[in-house]
Structures are given as structure tokens and as C-alpha cells.
Structure 1
Amino acid sequence: MRVDLNADLGESFGRWRLGDDEALLPLVSSANVACGFHAGDPATLVRTCAAAAAQGVRIGAQVSYRDLAGFGRRFIDVTPDDLYADVLYQIGALDQIARSTGSRVSYVKPHGALYNAVVHHEEQAAAIVAAVVATGRELPVLGLSGSALLAAASAAGLRVIPEGFADRAYSPAGTLVPRTEPGAVLDDAATIAQRAVRMARDHQVVAIDGTVIDVAPESVCVHGDSPGAVAMASAVRAALAAAGVEIRSFADGA
């Protein structure tokens, strides 16, 4: 058994610090690095990519709506053409930064409200996929299983990576419970670790109403901006290892 473990990194901005990237990087196999649209200034992104390259952690472009003030967690009814250009810009910028540190962008993952929107929003999903295709690199796309995004990426011939969330509550329909609702974000490290193991080994997760949902994630996410993120990621990594699950990036060898 093998699974990727990813976290959101590079989300500090100027003197404002968010998360502990240095402590998280040794624990994960893939880093979803902000691209400056929801978080992350250029100097932060250079430091994050350099640290990820030094640790041998794969770098993903975490593309977002243009929403620094809202941390990318507000839906924006952007036109497909504008979203295509924004995503292409973000991938290109982060890839050049990553290459300057001896690495490169190895996959693409939407952030926040954009991630949730393209579960169902077909036009925005298609815009993201078109931008990935335009890079000419056939980058894998990381997203929620059953989403419009992964369907569009698969139809375009891209590799799709279904993702599971150890620290987020699921609805009975298999979507993420909105952060505005009670219980949407989990904070108990032991519980999160158990959920990660069940996802990776048994391909199941328990929804917020007790329903057991079938999932088959190739990558499990622990949010880097959550309080106690390092303790959670440590617990998840230890629990996966104890269960005989190898932690390895899906992008290794790509």
C-alpha cells in the first residue's frame, strides 16, 4: 500500500506568517505551494520551493482565485477566459521559481473556494484544465474524486489524482462540508490519523452524519494553515507507517 501525503505551504505574506513550513516539509511527500493569488509573496515562494527541493518534496502549483484579502476562500464568478489566464500565469510563475531552486512544478491543485467550485462548476473546471494543457507538460491534476475538474482533466488526457482530506468533514454526498458549518474542520490529531489510515488502507471515510463513504485517494491532505498542523501531520505519518502504508509522492519518477 502506498499513498501521497500533501500539505498547503508557502502561504505567508510579507511580515505575516502562516503555518510552519520548515517543520511540515520533512513530514510530507508533496507540497501544494501558493502562487501569490491567495497567499505567498515572491520571496516566500522562493524560500518554500528551495526548502522543498532540499527535502526532495514534490512541488505542486496551488492555483487560486485572485483573492488575497479573502485567502482564496470566497467564490468568484470569474469568466472562463480570465480564469484560464490567471491559472496559466500562476503555474508559469511558480514553475520558474521552482526551477531556479533545482526543482519544478510536478502537479496542479486548486485552492479553497476554487477547489470546491470545480467539484460541480464545469466551465471553471474546463478553464483550469485548458491552462494546464497549455503548459505543454501534461501535469497531473489533484482534486476531489468524482469532481467536474477530474472528469475534465481525464477527458483531456491528463493524469488525475483523487484526493482525500484527513482533517475535513465530508457530507454524505462525498463533498467537503463548508467551513462555515460546525464540525467542518477537525482538530484532534488522533482522530485525523485514524481517518487517514482508513482512507488509505480501507478506502473509506465516515461522513458527518455517520454515513460510510467509499473513497480511493492517491493523496491525503493535511492543511498546513490549521492550528496544530505539524502535530497532525506527524500523527498521520506515524499512523500510516504503523499500518504498513508507504508515504510516497504520486509524482515520483514523473
Structure 2
Amino acid sequence: MIDRRSFIVTSLAALLPAGASAAGRPDQPEPQTRDYGPAKLDIYAAGGANNLPVVFFAHGGAWRFGKRSQVGAKPGFLLANGFVFVSIDYRMLPQADVATQASDVEKAYAYVRANIARHGGDPNRIVGMGHSAGCHLVALTGMRGGLPGVAGLILDDTRAYDLAALSRDGGMVRAYARAFSDPAQWTALSPASYVDGRKHPPTFIAYSRAPGRGEESQAFAKRLRAAGTKVTLFDGSAYTHMSINRDFGQDGDALTAAALAFLKATVA
């Protein structure tokens, strides 16, 4: 019997160019670090890069942990496939609340859009990407218009799309309860609050088998589609919450193949 993940890998393997294999992938490139104000970001670009599409990445860590260097194979894989890659830091709890973190993401994006051309990136072809807490922040800022001109979004595994619904469903577990302790802020900090009545870029939503991820992601995708947004929904139930991020860029990874197809259709 072929399991779901094996089937997806086999079906999508053809989307990965030969140069994207582990054996053919270049060594992890060294980034150029820049200070964008509240924190720093790393820019990964191949030598001679010129007017290439850009992936702008926000790491996870429960809004409290993590750092921009935790990127795994993403930079090498994306550079090998014709992209510039940017990974950002943002200030953390308890020093900075989630609203401040979202503002940091928007400031980092504004810096990248204003400066990425000198690193070989195209400021009009930036795709926002995030995992876990970073997924929530990219979804929130992207939905509310805080990433002007963003060409697409890759949202990788969060439950924090609609905080009021999450609370009603019993999903406000410790990490979420600590990050979103004030119910008066739930509407403003929920990406779903900004779906209706706005035009949104094409959005790729992935979810793992972690509790509640599938239900919340599917509900958010349904709402976006009802508003006229083009949505690609990836069933990552073969992954854990950590592996759905860690495996990105690895040879033969199903999510990587699906996300690359989305990127090429959106900005290539």
C-alpha cells in the first residue's frame, strides 16, 4: 500500500529540477546581515543575482523563542531554484507583545522592499512565508494590508487564524493563552478578521497532524476562497508541527515540491 505522503512525493517529484537534489545543491550560503530598526534580518542571494523573486521568512517559536538563523535547508534550496531568501528576527515576548511583533514584521518587510534590489531581488515579487508563530504574523500582516505589494503568502502550520473561534473550540492552550492573554485584542490580532472586503494575494496554507491544525487551516482557507482569494491547501498530516518546517528544502520532500510549484506559478 502506498501511504499518502509517498503518493504525494511521487506525484510532485517531477516539479523539482535536477539542480534541487541534495547531491547537486550548493553548500549553505552565507547571509548578509542588515539592521532594519527593531531587529536584524539576513539576506541570502547568489552571486550575480538580478531581479529575482524573493521569499521573506518569519520563524516560529510561540512568539517567545526562535531566531532568524533557524532556516534549515531553505536558503540553499531556494537560491538553487532562482530565488533570493530573507529571514528576519522580530522582538519577542515578554519584552514585545504580539501586536509589536506584527509591527516589526511590517517594518522588516518595508526595509526589504526598499533595499532588496541592490541584493538582486525584485521588490515587486516578494512572497511572505512563516512557520508557527511566524505563520500567524505573516498571515496577520498580509491580511491586514501591512505587506503592501506582497505577491503571495505561504502559511505553514498555525492555529491562530481566528482567536475567538480557537477559544470557543478549547484550543487556547498554554502557548496561545500566554501570547493572547487579553481577549479584547483577539479581533485585531486574528488574520481572519481582515479577510472580508479586501483583496488578498494567492495564499498557500499547509497544516501538520498537530491537534487542531487541519480544522483551523481548512476553515481559514474556506473563508479566503469565499472572499475570492486563490488558495492552495496542503494536507501535511504526514508531518509533525516541527518536521513540516524542518524538512522544507530536503530532497524529495512533498511540501517543498508543492510550495515550489506555488512559488513558480505566483512569481516566477
If the length of structure 2 is used for normalisation, what is the TM-score? 0.41
In our comparison, the structure showing a higher alpha carbon Rg is 2
